[in-house]
Structure 1
Amino acid sequence: MEKIEAIELAALKLLQQSPSEAKTVIDKEYPFHKIVSQGRNYSDKEKMEQFIRDGFIDRYSGQKLVNPGILKVLSNYMPETFPYHSHWKMEECHNAYWEFVPTVDHIYPVALGGADSMENWATTSMLHNSIKSNWTLEQLGWKLYDAGDYTRYDGLTRLFIKLVRSDEGLLKDTYIKRWYRLSVDFDKG
């Protein structure tokens, strides 16, 4: 029986004043499976490793993403034109943070029993991570794009490093400093 048919049949049983039969239909045809979440636990270093491994490509859209620090540099120089908000409030933060800053997502959601391991991680934008939430790729009709090649596109990491080296005062910003250190540690160029 299809899931939608199970819902329809259960609703019809309720209409017939038969809640116990409705429950039986759901229990048999479309049961709820409670899953204990393993939680999410990765460091900034592991995030950067993932971004490099995926070549700063959004694995859900194929779009290029950027090193998190470079946008904050733009915000530092142009706070009114390119605003930043520490909690990324949409009405107070430039859309680029949502569209181009990479984040780590669990391909198969942890909330559905997916592993919190590198094999289940994918780089994606905050926008796509937010949309995907706890849904599977199949449920959304999405696919997993191939990883990029960091040697061909580095997410503007080298440009970010050059910008900070040209103005070390930027390192007073803890967000920039964190991503600068990670970038320098990982950049091979």
Structure 2
Amino acid sequence: MLKADVIKTICHGLDSGDDVLIAAALKEYPFIAPANTGRNYTELQATRIFMRDGFVDRYSGTRLVHPAVLRVLSKLLPHHIPFHRNWKMTETHPAYWELVPTIDHIIPVARSGIDSEENWVTTSMLRNATKANWTLDELGWKLLPPGNLLQWDGLTGWLIRYIEQHGLAGQERYVIQWYKAARKAI
């Protein structure tokens, strides 16, 4: 039964007072609350996944940029590449949503996926938010091959060179943690 037809059947059951029809329809399209399983990755774990995937969004093929690079640029060019600590869209450059990599679960944990590296993939914040707890099949998406880290490193090399030339003084904790993770991961 098509999902819209299930809702139609429920409406028909309400109109006719047929609780058995409603119950049968609800079994066809049940609400299953996803488990709330908070996940935290260290910057080192995330960096290793980003490097494994060649800093490429595995759902779109888009090149992504090391998270700390944009924060350094926002500090240097705040009016041109603004950032809001809560990622407020009216105050944050769209590059943060489109180009900052994050880890996604190919099979969502809320849908019985495991929380381990075999199920982790690099994607942008935008695509991660879009995908949410949907499966690739439900969205009509495909998992693309990883990028080549030798061809694109997400500007990780630039970040390391910049910090080593200019030092960590004045850098926010976020940048320092990502820098240290990048040094360990290479």
- Normalised to the residue count of structure 2, the TM-score between the two structures is 0.90
| Counterpart position of 1:107 | 106
- 1:67 positional shift: 0.8
Give me the whole-angstrom Cα distance separating, in 2, the residues matched to 1:31 and 1:109: 18
| Counterpart position of 2:97 | 98
Give me the whole-angstrom Cα distance separating, in 2, the residues matched to 1:121 and 1:170: 33
1:87/1:33 Cα in 2 relative to 1: closer, same or farther (>3 Å)?
closer
| Counterpart position of 2:14 | 14
1:72/1:34 Cα in 2 relative to 1: closer, same or farther (>3 Å)?
closer
| Counterpart position of 1:154 | 153
Quote the sequence identity (%). Answer: 44
CA contact (8 A) 1:36 1:113 kept: no
- 1:34 positional shift: 4.6
Give me the whole-angstrom Cα distance separating, in 1, the residues matched to 2:14 and 2:108: 33
List structure 1 runs of 4+ shifted beyond 6 angstroms: none
| Counterpart position of 1:30 | 29
- 1:87 positional shift: 1.7
Cα deviation per residue 1:85-140 (whole Å; 9 max; x = unaligned)?
A: 22211111111111111000111111222211111111011111111111111121
| Counterpart position of 1:182 | 181
The number of equivalent residue pairs is 186
Give me the whole-angstrom Cα distance separating, in 2, the residues matched to 1:170 and 1:66: 22
Runs (5+) with no aligned partner, structure 1:
none
- Normalised to the residue count of structure 1, the TM-score between the two structures is 0.89
- 1:35 positional shift: 5.0
Runs (5+) with no aligned partner, structure 2:
none
CA contact (8 A) 2:74 2:81 kept: yes
CA contact (8 A) 1:164 1:171 kept: no
Give me the whole-angstrom Cα distance separating, in 1, the residues matched to 2:168 and 2:46: 25
- 1:147 positional shift: 0.9
Give me the whole-angstrom Cα distance separating, in 2, the residues matched to 1:11 and 1:182: 55
RMSD: 1.8
CA contact (8 A) 2:168 2:176 kept: no
CA contact (8 A) 2:102 2:128 kept: yes
Determine helix, strand or coil for the equivalent of 1:71.
helix
